[in-house]
Amino acid sequence: MSCIKDEDTSKIFPTLKHSPSLKGFTHLASDGVYRSFSSSGEVVDYKQLSPTEITKMLEFFEKHTHNSESFQESRKKFEGVDGRNVTDLEQLLHPGREIRPLRFRE
């Protein structure tokens, strides 16, 4: 799930460092970790989210999505997830293919 620009986001989305080129983006993965990626797929920064923080982000996404059915399917991936349980630095900086943003899954 990529970040949407909106004035409400400062209260919902944790502040992360951005790619120096400013061409990167943020992504909430199904492991509960919110990551900032460079345009080439490198993790620039991350934050392990609590279930409450994940819920707040998902509620924001739901409010701004155009395909509610598809969103509900995606939301199921986050049930019972606590990003604070992800402590392996390798996973934090190099998430597995299945949870990387779509453009970096090749």
Confidence (pLDDT) at 83: 97
Number of domains the chain contains: 1
Segment 10-36, tens digit of pLDDT: 677 788 888 888 888 999 999 999 999
Distances (CA, A) of 91 to 12, 78, 87: 24, 17, 8
Q: Is 8 contained in some domain?
A: no
Confidence (pLDDT) at 9: 66
Model confidence at 1: pLDDT above 70: no
Model confidence at 2: pLDDT above 60: no
Q: Is 53 contained in some domain?
A: yes
Domain that holds residue 49: 16-99
CA 67 vs. chain centroid, Å, equals: 18
Q: What share of the chain is helix, strand, coil (3-state, %, to 5)?
A: 40, 15, 45
Q: Check if the beta carbon of residue 46 is closer than 8 Å to that of residue 93.
A: yes
Residue 2 identity: S
Q: Is 46 contained in some domain?
A: yes
Token output for 73: 């399917």
Confidence (pLDDT) at 52: 93
Q: Is 10 contained in some domain?
A: no
What percentage of the chain carries pLDDT values higher than 70?
88
Q: Is 104 contained in some domain?
A: no
Q: Is 9 contained in some domain?
A: no
Model confidence at 8: pLDDT above 80: no
